[in-house]
Amino acid sequence: MVLKRSGNGIRFLIPLMCGLSSISIAQAASLQAMDDQALSDVTGQALMSLSYIAPTDSANKMSGQGVGFYKLGMEAELELNANIKKLQLGCGGVNGAGGCDIDIDNLSLSGLADTRDGRVGSSAKLTNPFLEFAIKNPDSASTREVVGLRLSAEKALGLLTLGNENSDKPNGINSLSGYMKINPSTGTAYTAPRNMTYADTGMTIDGNVEACILFICPTLGFKSNDYSLGLKSAKADIFLNGTTVNGTRMSSVNLGGYANIHQLDFNGDLKAALNITAGLLKLQKEVDGNITGLKANITVDQNLGYIHSLKVNNPMSLSLQSQQIWWPKADAAANTGWWLAFDDAIDIGDVTPTDKIQVTNDVLKQVVNPISNFIKQNPPRCGLLDCLFGDALTVGNVNLPNTSLNFPLKNLQLTNQSFAPNCYGNLKFC
């Protein structure tokens, strides 16, 4: 741990201390008192500071509730590199057996670095750390009560990592009580290829074809409950909205946003009955085409055990309170129990999933009717004999710019949440 004086304050150096020790008693006896004019020309800075916010103060966000705040601060910059194997706070009691306000495995705090050597050789910087007390009825000696204790810093700069590794299994955060704002983020995802059949959707594909003979192209309607279309992998640009994590003993967080889906190619078999033949004449085609313009409304139910790397550059605090307390300069009130808060927004970076996104049957059901409507309004054209008896039918581009799919996701392993351990050698945690 290293302490550095902040600002332009006086620096106490070892050579100076050694020099002072050599001053003789005779010299000390010759010291003269300074008058007010001489003192006014001298400036200095205290290492410690003490402040008080009264219950009626305008800066008190709990005005009218009889709670005052005493703050003991250190005007310094503290550097810290730390590993905590198991951080458990507020376990048992009112939370029940095994329940904890905060339960985090393998927590590491270091400087901003992406390598082992860089993390081990660096430290997080805590500017002006302080200890703060919330006192109920501070003006009454008989009813005065400590209702909260907060450890904090005016600013924290460093890398906070949680868990052993970024894997397909949650690890790190088991339970979290606190407040954290997450900035909007972007990423790139790819859907996994899959087949779409009538058994998957329970919905028919309806459409029209233009069967041309010479210059006459009558429109023939069809209905299919027998199809097997292979959907290729498609790229999707993800945009997640900013969100606020605020609660007690949380194990997951809900994220929302949208995605623009790039061209989705398909091909496969389609058997359909012509409407004008009352279903007696069957078409059997190998079809191909692509779908463009799709958008998706994304919801992500994300286990906090998939969040491993947080670049901190904001005030942060750890507090304990017997009632809900709104600490000075905090963005939100802290709930009863232990509470971890980040007052400024945190950037979680690129949210590109490690694995391809699985397309569920519920998602497929949302696209069948838009496809049918498009093919009805924009029928593919073919020669009459090819339409009736040919083997292949090119559907072409199915453009659906007004179609938004509800696309729920869960527990995404994110590429950018990988991190280097804060250890030398090959250890994951030390």
The DSSP string of 13-60 is -HHHHHHHHT--HHHHHT-----HHHHTT-----SEEEEEE-TT-TT-
Position 31 scores a pLDDT of: 72
Position 6 scores a pLDDT of: 38
Q: What is the pLDDT of residues 259-301, one digit of tens each?
A: 999 999 999 999 999 887 766 678 888 999 999 999 999 999 9
Position 71 scores a pLDDT of: 97
d(CA 169, CA 167): 5
| Average pLDDT for 314-338 | 95
Q: What is the pLDDT of residues 40-71, one digit of tens each?
A: 776 666 788 999 999 999 999 998 899 999 99
| Average pLDDT for 365-371 | 97
Ranking 27-36, 252-261, 374-383 by mean pLDDT, the lowest is 27-36
| Average pLDDT for 194-202 | 97
Position 420 scores a pLDDT of: 95
Are residues 87 and 10 in contact, defined by beta-carbon separation less than 8 angstroms? no
N-term to C-term CA, the chain: 18
Position 23 scores a pLDDT of: 41
- Helix (H, G, I), strand (E, B), or coil: what is residue 295? strand
Position 283 scores a pLDDT of: 84
Residue 347 has pLDDT above 90, yes or no: no
d(CA 93, CA 26): 64
Ranking 9-13, 68-72, 143-147 by mean pLDDT, the lowest is 9-13
| pLDDT > 90 in the chain, percent | 74
| Average pLDDT for 137-157 | 95
d(CA 68, CA 137): 7
E runs forming strands in 241-336? 243-250, 252-261, 264-274, 282-292, 295-303, 309-321
| Average pLDDT for 331-342 | 95
Position 249 scores a pLDDT of: 95
Q: What is the pLDDT of residues 99-125, one digit of tens each?
A: 899 999 999 999 999 999 999 999 999
Count Cα atoms within 13 angstroms, Cβ side, for 40.
3
| Average pLDDT for 315-335 | 95
| Average pLDDT for 184-206 | 96
Are residues 257 and 250 in contact, defined by beta-carbon separation less than 8 angstroms? no
| pLDDT > 70 in the chain, percent | 91
Q: What is the pLDDT of residues 219-229, one digit of tens each?
A: 989 999 999 99
Position 76 scores a pLDDT of: 93
Are residues 83 and 429 in contact, defined by beta-carbon separation less than 8 angstroms? yes
Position 278 scores a pLDDT of: 63
| Average pLDDT for 319-336 | 96
Instruction: Give residue limits of the domains in the chain.
Output: 2-6+44-166+308-346, 187-301+356-413
Position 19 scores a pLDDT of: 42
Residue 424 has pLDDT above 80, yes or no: yes
Q: Token pair of 323, please?
A: 């009632």
Task: Tell me what the pLDDT averaged over the chain comes to.
Answer: 89
| Average pLDDT for 126-142 | 96
> What residues does 399 pair with on adjacent strands?
292
Position 18 scores a pLDDT of: 40
d(CA 398, CA 290): 6
Binned at pLDDT 50, 70 and 90, residue 29 comes out as: low
Are residues 221 and 207 in contact, defined by beta-carbon separation less than 8 angstroms? yes
| Average pLDDT for 152-176 | 95
Position 32 scores a pLDDT of: 76
Please enumerate in sequence order all residues whose Cβ is within 8 A of that of 329, keeping only pairs 6 or more positions apart, or say none.
Answer: 315, 343
Position 15 scores a pLDDT of: 40
